[in-house]
Amino acid sequence: MHDLLDVVFVKPMQDHWLALSFENGENRLFDVKPLLNKKPFKALQQRHVFEQAYVFAGTVNWPGNIDIAPETLYERSVAV
Which residues sit opposite 12 in a β-bridge?
18
Strands 27-31 and 78-79, sheet pairing: antiparallel
User: What CATH code is assigned to 7-79?
Assistant: 3.30.2020.10
Question: SS3 for 61?
Answer: strand
pLDDT tens-digit readout, 24-62: 999 999 999 999 999 999 999 999 999 999 999 999 999
Structural contact between residues 36 and 44, judged by C-beta atoms closer than 8 angstroms: yes
pLDDT at 59: 97
Which residues, at least 6 apart from 34, have a Cβ–Cβ distance to it below 8 Å?
A: none
The predicted model scores a pTM of 0.94
